[in-house]
Amino acid sequence: MAAQQAAGAPATLVAGVPALPSPRNGQAAPQGLTDGGLVDADWQPVLAAIGAASSVDLVCHVLPDGDALGSALAAGIALRSLGVEVRVSFGDDPQVVPASLGFLPGQELLVPASAVPDRPELLITFDVADARRLGLLQTKAEAAETLVVIDHHASNGGFGTHLLIDPAAPATAVLVDELLRRLGVPLDAAIATCLYTGVATDTGSFRYSATTPATHELASRLLAAGVRHDLISRRLWDTQSFGYLKVLAAALDRAVLDPEAADGLGLVWTWVPWADLVRHGVLPEEIEGLIDVVRKASEAETTLVLKEDPDGSLRGSSRAKGAVNVAAACGALGGGGHAYAAGFTSHDPVPDTVARFRAALRAG
């Protein structure tokens, strides 16, 4: 893998776009979109790498959510507008865009993982905290001449040659907006729709604690660019198949309230067997939002939903309301994420997995 480029790399990018920060649409650059942890010296090598590349591969994690896919597609649309050859991909086979994200612009840029070169010239990952989350693209990413990691997960240990990681950012899409500003790409309705989807997804429609005044300022700019936030919200949170309702009903029937877990703050957990998805014709990505229903239990600080995959492994998703760090608990089980939203994979049976998770919560 190529060594990191020097911060003094050429200052001219594609089509003469300056590498240094530039105003968008003649307006002063918005401030405070990150916590200031990223400075010009962090961005400059990435801008130079994009300017020097003949093609760029943009990839996000498997089973992509709105922030992952929205960020990658926004960057793809923007780079295409600069005349860059781009490919957008994620490492699932089959590669299926979740139905709730079917409205996202730029999907004509999507290619299967097999179409990504074995040794990409420049590969950029979005919302990927761990290289293993790249699935079929992990090996190709690790072989890239230049690997840029754009992410906001505190658990990201850094696996690229260029790291743009800001745990204070409420969504990876916030960092992508900053990248596009530095590339001099103006917002249009397509780019703004992708970015708004990312921000709205990872802030829980602006309900989570990571939401700041700057987040709302960004949302305002995106709305001004032509985003239909009402239609996006309807697709993200208010549209499900009837089969999903049946799976949800079964998961709620299995739900267990453990009031003594999480230092007596309570844990509510449930699981979804693969057979339920098959029986009702539901795809795995359709049940990602199920945890937001389960976590409403007022008696529990922490929520755990286990989703079985065809091979019998369990994908665990956990949420906390503010008093427990679930990233630490999930990290003890080989996963990670944010303090109040994290996950892991388990190859143990459901009872054993729940027991391990409870023990991790007790351990702090």
Q: How far apart are CA 57 and CA 116, in angstroms?
A: 7
Please give the angle made by the CA atoms of 63, 66 and 71, to the nearest 5 degrees: 105
Q: What is the pTM of this model?
A: 0.82
Task: Give the pLDDT of residue 35.
Answer: 43
Indicate if the alpha-carbon torsion angle 301, 290, 257, 296 is positive or negative: positive
C-beta neighbour count of 103 within 10 angstroms: 16
Q: For tokens 């401030």, what's the residue? A: 31
β-pair partners for 125: 59, 149
On the question of a common fold for 14-237 and 243-363, the answer reads no
Locate the domains of the chain by residue range. 14-237, 243-363
Nearest to 69 by CA among 106, 94, 37: 106
Q: What's the pLDDT tens digit per position in 37-92?
A: 799 999 999 999 999 999 999 999 998 999 999 999 999 999 999 999 999 999 99
Task: Give the pLDDT of residue 364.
Answer: 73
Q: How far apart are CA 155 and CA 245, in angstroms?
A: 33
Helices (H), 53-147: 66-81, 138-142
- The tokens describing 268, both together, are 């509510």
Nearest to 327 by CA among 161, 130, 137, 120: 130
Q: For tokens 């079964």, what's the residue? A: 250
Classify residue 331 by burial, with Cβ atoms within 10 Å: 0-12, 13-18, 19+: middle
Q: How far apart are CA 43 and CA 266, in angstroms?
A: 43
Task: Give the pLDDT of residue 157.
Answer: 87
If the chain, 364 residues long, is cut into consecutive pieces of 10 residues, what is the mean pLDDT of each piece?
A: 32 31 36 58 96 97 95 98 97 92 97 98 96 96 98 92 95 98 97 98 91 96 96 93 97 96 90 98 91 95 97 96 92 90 95 97 86
- 12 DSSP assignment: B
Pick the CATH number of 243-363 from 3.90.1150.10, 3.10.310.30, 2.60.120.10, 3.40.720.10: 3.10.310.30
User: Chain centroid to CA 58: how far?
Assistant: 13
Pairing of strands 256-258, 267-272: antiparallel
The answer to whether the beta carbons of residues 85 and 64 sit under 8 Å apart is: no
Q: How far apart are CA 185 and CA 22, in angstroms?
A: 9
Task: Give the pLDDT of residue 92.
Answer: 94
What percentage of the chain carries pLDDT values higher than 90?
81
Q: What CATH architecture is 14-237? A: Alpha-Beta Complex (3.90)
C-beta neighbour count of 36 within 10 angstroms: 10
Q: For tokens 């109040």, what's the residue? A: 340
Secondary-structure breakdown of the chain: helix, strand, coil percentages, each rounded to the nearest 5:
40, 20, 40
